[in-house]
Structures are given as C-alpha cells and as structure tokens.
Amino acid sequence: MNIAIITGSGGLIGAEAVRFFSNKGFEIIGIDNDMRRIFFGDEASTAWSQKKLESEIANYTHYSEDIRDKTAMKKIFEKYNNDIKLIIHTAAQPSHDWAAKDPFTDFTVNANGTLTLLELTRQYCPHAVFIFTSTNKVYGDTPNNLPLVELETRWEIDESHPYYKNGIDESMNIDQTKHSLFGASKLAADILVQEYGKYFNMKTVCFRAGCLTGPGHSSTELHGFLAYLMKCAVVGKHYTIFGYKGKQVRDNLHSYDLVNAFWEFYKNPRVGEVYNIGGSRHSNCSVIEAIKMCEEISGRKMHYCYSDRNRIGDHIWWISNVNKFRSHYSNWGYKYDIKSILIEIEKNFRNMNIHE
C-alpha cells in the first residue's frame, strides 16, 4: 500500500495535494485541526474543504489533530509505518502580522511541528519523500534592497541586474535581514528539512514559494491575497492596499502547478534540496494591476483605499527564478497564468453565490 500523509489537508495546497495524489492511487491520510479558523476567524475556516474531501475522495482518511501534538502524530506514523511513501507538509501559521501577535504559537506550529514530523519520518518511514512548503520570506526583506525602479503600475528591478531576466534564485542570502517572526519560524523549519536530508540522507525538499493561490483558498485579509481581492470584487467588499503605492509585485502560482511540481519531485527525489518556486516572469502582478484585472473579469468596480503603512516584511518586488527546479525536472511546466487563475477564482465565487 502507498500512503501519503498530507498535513494541512483542508488548506489551499493540502486539499489540492489530496485530490492530485489520490488520483495517482495513493491512500491519503489528511491531518488538519482547522487551526486556520483560530488564526483568522470563521471566514477562513477550512472545515468546508475537509468535509468536501471526506465526501468526494474515497481513499481519504481525516485526522483532526494538531501537528504539535507529538503523541497524536506518533500514533499516526506508528499505525501506517513503512507504508508511508510520501509526506507533504503544508500545515502552518501563514501570516506575518498574526505571528507578531503570538510568537510562541507561530513558532511551535511552524518550527516545532515540522521537527516532530521530520523525526517521526526518520523513525518510521526513513525512505519516504518529505515535501515541505517553505516560503520566499526565508530571504527576509533582502529583496527590498535590490535596485528597483518605479514604473507606472509596478516596481521593477533595474534591467542591468542579473535577476531581471528570470527573477530571484536560491543564491540570495537568508541571513542578516528582517524576516518577520513568521519568516523566522518558517526558516527554522526550512533549515531542519534541509538538515534531515543532508545529515540523515533523507529525501527531503523545501519549496520556497512566492504567492500561492487558487479557488481552494479560504481567503481573508491577512492571508490569500489574490482570492481575497477577487472576493472583495465579487461581493463589493472594501479592500485596503498597504504601502508601496500598491505597486508591489508578487508572482502567483496556482495550487495545481505547485502540487504537480511535488509529483515530479516524488518520482525522482533528491536529498535535502531547496527550490524557489512561483509564477516567475510567467505569472505575476502588482496589487493595482491585480485590482484592474479583478474589475475587468468580474465586471464590477472595486471599492478600495490606500494606507501608507506597508506590511512589515512585505516584499516590494518578488519574482521567483524557477530555473533550478526546471533544470532538475524538465517535465514540469505551468498550466495557469495570472489571468486564467483570476478567471477561475471569479467563476468559483460566482458559483458560490456569496454575499458580504
């Protein structure tokens, strides 16, 4: 039997991974305690997603447990043992702003939770592939020191810079920078994931993602940028742009394209790897460009205002260079770009018939 353990299985990436890997014939063990509701309130609960998975996916078993609970995690690993071929670890506290409110919860979920899962993998299924959803915030605010130029609707890196053509690669320094507490807890986890590869020769990988998105996001103001923006457009909800004139650039990757990258890695795993992954030059936008696209796609004028106060740790310009991953896994490519992502999200909200 091939078992995949997927933590954060009700979340954007977790739920996409459940569907994808169940289609590939895996028995799926999902772990999610709907902590997203505790972080961000009812609007962000992923209970709906969990229920959907349980009703739609025959080979799915859900455990409503906390990844910090070592006893509960041990029971799961003990039970499935060497049948576990894959661990996809997506459960996390995902917001900068929230982390500063409760650093202990943030750190224990993001760092200690990851350590617990790594150590149980080592003890019970050391040959399994361990995939960790890391973040570009491990580079802190170092990208903000790049030579940026202001264009009409976005910040852009100076054309003479080596990052101009393909974006920021894995050689960027992770040290001596402001990460935010969220970035620090994710970096601690990222280093541990690398170390279990390098030290114990396990098949571990960190995907350092830019913005991840898709209709499966239980979006809210503090997390889930594109889906939240489109939600505001569709329901006529007010949106606040925080800092940088709304010209900050993010690259956006559909959850499907990320999970498809997991599949490529699983088929031909490496040890202690690190990849930047994101929409790259292929799929990106500034906040004000995204607002314009949301208006065009939804056919509705958005209500928004501007606050001078930028989010601490926010990147002014981030484009992921995905060439390292592509050079190792040449089968992988994008199914979505920014426009097709937004069209899909809008359609999903319209079908849900949601109101403010």
Ligand X SMILES: NC(=O)c1ccc[n+]([C@@H]2O[C@H](COP(=O)([O-])OP(=O)(O)OC[C@H]3O[C@@H](n4cnc5c(N)ncnc54)[C@H](O)[C@@H]3O)[C@@H](O)[C@H]2O)c1
Candidate list 20, 28, 57, 94; residue touching ligand X; CB under 6 A:
94
Q: How many CA atoms lie within 13 A of 2 on its CB side?
A: 11
Our finding on whether 272 is near ligand X (CB under 6 A) is: no
Our finding on whether 194 is near ligand X (CB under 6 A) is: no
User: Considering only 5-13, 286-294, 310-318, 345-353, which stretch makes contact with ligand X by CB under 6 A?
Assistant: 5-13
Candidate list 4, 5, 6, 13; residue touching ligand X; CB under 6 A:
13
Our finding on whether 187 is near ligand X (CB under 6 A) is: no
Candidate list 12, 229, 241, 338; residue touching ligand X; CB under 6 A:
12
Helix, strand, coil percentages for the chain (3-state, nearest 5): 45, 20, 35
User: Considering only 33-41, 121-129, 138-146, 293-301, which stretch makes contact with ligand X by CB under 6 A?
Assistant: 33-41
Our finding on whether 248 is near ligand X (CB under 6 A) is: no
Our finding on whether 232 is near ligand X (CB under 6 A) is: no
CB of 49 to ligand X, least distance (A): 7
Buried/exposed 131-161: b ≥16 CB within 10 Å, e otherwise: bbbbbbbbbbbbbbebebeeeebbbbbeeee
Size of interface with ligand X, in residues (CB under 6 A): 28
- Whole-angstrom CA distances from 97 to 106, 219, 322, 347 are 11, 15, 27, 29
CB of 149 to ligand X, least distance (A): 26
Could you give the residue ranges of the DSSP H alpha helices within the chain? 12-23, 35-40, 47-56, 70-80, 96-101, 103-107, 113-124, 163-166, 180-200, 225-235, 255-267, 287-298, 323-328, 338-352
User: Considering only 194-202, 204-212, 313-321, 334-342, which stretch makes contact with ligand X by CB under 6 A?
Assistant: 204-212
Q: What is the rounded distance in angstroms from the CA atom of residue 175 to the CA atom of residue 298?
A: 42
List residues binding ligand X (CB under 6 A): 8, 10-14, 31-36, 46, 66-68, 90-92, 94, 109, 113, 133, 135, 209, 211-212, 217
